[in-house]
Amino acid sequence: MLMAALLGAGCAERPPAGWSGYVEGEYVLVSSPLAGTLAQLPVQAGGKVAQGAPLFVLDDEAEALARAEAQARLGVAEAQARNTETGRRADEVAVARAQLARAKAQAALARTELARVKQLVAQNFVSAAQLDDAQAALSQADAQVTELEAALRVAQLPARVQERAAAQAGASAAQQQLKQADWRLQQKAQRAPAAAEVADTFFRVGEWVPAGQPIVSLLPAGAVKARFYVAETEAGALAPGQAVLIRCDGCGAPINARISRIATQAEYTPPVIYSNAQRAKLVFMVEARPAPADAPRLRPGQPIDVQRAS
C-alpha cells in the first residue's frame, strides 16, 4: 500500500512527456580577410569583452608602408591637378613680358629705319634694294611682336580642358588607392562586434594566420537557442511562434521559449540525442528561442527536455 502511494506520488511529480534536444550557441567567428603573423591577442577563452574591444592584431608593417606610399602618390597627383588650373609661374610670365617689350622696341626701330630709307630713296641717295631690306626687317619685327604676344597669353592661361580632366582623374584614382590602403591596414586589427563571451581562440601570438581563418570565437549575450527533435507524427501540431517550456538539469524553473523554426525535411534522430525512447525515429528538427532575460540560464551543448506550454 505504501509502495503504491510512493509510486503514485513520483508519477505525479514527473513532468509531462516531451522531446529531447540540446542548447546550441550562435557563435561569431572573427577573422581577418588578410593573412599575416598574429602580433597581439589580448583576449583569452572564457573572458568577457565589451562591444568595440580589441580582439587581435596581425602584423601590419607592409600595409602601413603601402598606405604611406599611397599618401605620397595622392600628394603628387593633387599637386599636378592644381598646376593645371593656373598659368605659368610669375617669373616665367615676367620673362615673356620682357621679351615682348624688346620685340616691340625692335619693331619701332625698324619702322623708323624704314621711314628714313624711304626719304633717302626719294632723294636718290640709296638704292631701292635697301628699301626692300628695311621693309623686310619691319615685317620680321612685327611678326616677332605678334608671336610673343600670343606666347604671353598662353603663359597666363590654365592647361587645356582635357589635360585638366586627366589630372583630376589621376588625383581621384590616387585618393581611391589611399582608401584601399586604409581599409587593408584597418583589417589587420579586429574588434568585438558586440558584447560577448570569448568562447575560444584558435591561434597563438607569433603564428601565421591564413586569410579568412577564424582567430577568435565569440558567443554574444543571449545568442543561444534550443534545438530539439519532434516525431513526424507530432510535427504537424507545431507552428512557429508557439510557446514551449525548456527543462534542464540545474536550470531551476522551466524556461519559456517560442518556436522560431521547423525544418522542412525530416531526418532520423541524430546521434547527439541519447534518449532511448527517441532513437531511430523519423523526426523534424525544431528550434526555439528563449526570452532574452532567460537566455543566460542556458549553455551551449546542454541537454534539455522540451514540452508544450500549457
- Helix axis angle for 90-122 and 128-156, nearest 10°, is 160
> Positive or negative CA dihedral for 40, 45, 50, 52?
positive
The tens digit of pLDDT for each residue in 33-66 reads: 999 999 999 999 999 999 999 999 999 999 999 9
Q: What is the CATH code for 16-25+221-308?
A: 2.40.30.170
Residue 29 pLDDT: 97
Model confidence band, residue 15 (pLDDT cutoffs 50, 70, 90): very low
Residue 255 pLDDT: 94
Model confidence band, residue 276 (pLDDT cutoffs 50, 70, 90): low
Residue 175 pLDDT: 92
Domain extents in the chain: 16-25+221-308, 87-157
The tens digit of pLDDT for each residue in 216-267 reads: 999 998 899 999 999 888 888 899 999 999 999 888 899 999 999 999 988 8
Topology of domain 87-157, per CATH? Helix Hairpins (1.10.287)
User: What secondary structure does DSSP assign to the chain, as a single string?
Assistant: -HHHHHHHHHHHHSPPP-EEEEEEE--EEE--SS-EEEEE----TT-EE-TT-EEEEE--HHHHHHHHHHHHHHHHHHHHHHHTTS-S-HHHHHHHHHHHHHHHHHHHHHHHHHHHHHHHHHTTSS-HHHHHHHHHHHHHHHHHHHHHHHHHHHHHS---HHHHHHHHHHHHHHHHHHHHHHHHHHHTEEE-SSSEEEEEE---TT-EE-TT---EEEEETT-EEEEEEEETTTGGG--TT-EEEEE-TT--SPEEEEEEEE-SS-EEPPTT---GGGTT-EEEEEEEEE-TTTGGG--TT-EEEEEE--
| Report field, pTM of the whole predicted structure over 0.75 | no
The tens digit of pLDDT for each residue in 155-192 reads: 666 656 677 788 788 888 999 999 999 999 999 999 99
Residue 11 pLDDT: 39
The mean pLDDT of 139-165, rounded to a whole number, is: 74
Model confidence band, residue 95 (pLDDT cutoffs 50, 70, 90): confident
Higher-confidence residue: 39 or 147? 39
